[in-house]
Structure 1
Amino acid sequence: MSIDVLNETEFSIDELELVACARYVMEQMRVHPKADLCLRLVDEPAMETLHVQWMDLPGPTDVMSFPMDELRPGREGVEPQEGMLGDIVLCPSVAARQAREAGHATEEELLLLTTHGILHLLGFDHAEPDEEREMFELQRQLLLTFLATRGRPTA
């Protein structure tokens, strides 16, 4: 599994923790062990440009996912596909504001957003209420179990 982190910001990020989280989520979702993922961290102007270009929405957002080979979660008895999972673009300054509002650390928000982004790359969405419940419950379970395996407090 290849996971690249491109930090194009001034934020000091624990890249190893982001990679560990991404790897954990991909393994739990039974993504092929040779799948590739890129995590790109950008500033607000760069994120705003992407947000307008791809979603036609103003202002920067926290995370955007760009699937490549449309890989899906593996299933029991079915060999997962090999390929490029895609790119996740994170905006640490937006994540920091959200973390303050939620009462937890920026790093935890970035781990949450990484998990969220991977689920989007795997075809999960939250446009409809039932989809949102399914995706957010899975996201919560993955993040909590990741943090528990890392020996970190769960908020």
Structure 2
Amino acid sequence: MDLEFFDDDHLLTAAHVKLVKDLVAFCGQALHLRADTEMAITIVEDAEIRRINREYRATDRVTDVISFAIEDEHEELHGFTAVPRDIGDLFIAPGKVREQAKDYGHSFERELGYTVVHGFLHLNGYDHIKPEDEAVMIPLQKRILADFGLKR
């Protein structure tokens, strides 16, 4: 996985940044993605994720993660080397993640991991709106977290 990571305000510790990067790599392996698959994660304050949620999702509230999946996977161009696949961008608000960890009674690390995996799966076409889709996404999410060692 080729991950671009932005935390300009240093909202995460170095250990948390490492956790996120390691987990993204682990998710890429779990889904058997090409090594040159690209994505970006931007860490933002609660006010910024609320603005993004309001502007792009017409929902005026703070959320933990927003995913912007890129639907088009580029194929080989005229016989040349394949263009790396860009699956999209995640915006994560650690303030909201911290609040949810407290509400659910588990560690910040576990909730951050859950948020990363959840968003990652959305970038790869998984969803949980319909019961049949949820029956695929949620068990996969739980398996990845457990295999990585982030249990409730």
| Length-normalised TM-score, structure 1 | 0.84
Aligned residues of 1:69 and 1:83 also touching (Cα < 8 A): no
Amino acid at match of 1:121: L
- How far apart, CA to CA, are the structure 2 residues paired with 1:107 and 1:11? 14
Contact map agreement 1:35 1:82 (CA 8 A) in 2: yes
Contact 1:51 1:58 in 2 (8 A): yes
Amino acid at match of 2:131: P
Q: Which residue of 2 aligns with 1:7?
A: 7
Amino acid at match of 1:42: V
Distance 1:121 1:92, change over 3 A: same
Alignment of 1:57-68 (within 5 A): 57-68=59-70
Quote the offset at 1:4 in angstroms: 2.1
Name the structure 1 match of 2:94. 92
Give the CA deviation at 1:69. Answer: 4.8
Please identify runs of 4+ aligned residues in structure 1 that moved more than 6 A.
none
| Percent identity for Structure 1 against Structure 2 | 23
Aligned Cα root-mean-square deviation (Å): 1.8
Return the offset for 1:154: 2.5
Could you say what secondary structure the match of 1:88 adopts? Answer: strand
Choose the corresponding residue for 2:28, options 16, 26, 29: 26
Check 1:97–1:70 CA distance in 2 against 1; reply closer, same or farther (3 A cut): farther
Distance 1:42 1:99 in 2: 17
Count of residue pairs brought into register by the alignment: 142
Could you list the runs of 5+ residues in structure 2 that have no partner in the other structure?
A: 74-82
Partner SS for 2:126: coil
Is residue 2:34 matched to residue 1:37? no
Please state whether the residue corresponding to 2:111 is helix, strand or coil. Answer: helix
Aligned mates of 1:70, 1:20 — CA distance in 2: 26
SS in 2 for 1:116: helix
Residue of structure 2 in register with 1:75 after alignment: none
Look up the equivalent residue of 2:93 and give its one-letter code: C
Deviations along 1:17-51, whole A, 9 cap, x unmatched? 10000110011101111011111110011101110
Return the match for 2:151 from 146, 149, 154.
Answer: 154
User: How far is 1:125 from its partner?
Assistant: 0.7
**What is the alpha-carbon distance in structure 2 between the residues aligned to residue 83 and residue 122 of structure 1?**
11
Inter-CA distance 64–113: structure 2 relative to 1 (3 Å threshold) = same
Inter-partner Cα distance in structure 1 for 2:71 and 2:132: 26
CA deviations on 1:45-75 (whole Å, 9 max, x unpaired) are: 110111011111111111111112545xxxx
The structure whose Rg is larger is 2
Name the CA distance, whole Å, in 2 between partners of 1:9 and 1:93.
12
**Whole-Å separation in 1 of the counterparts to 2:142 and 2:108:** 17
Q: Any idea what SS the aligned residue of 2:87 has? A: strand
Q: Which runs of 5 or more structure 1 residues have no equivalent in the other structure? A: 72-80, 148-152
Aligned-partner SS, 2:91: strand
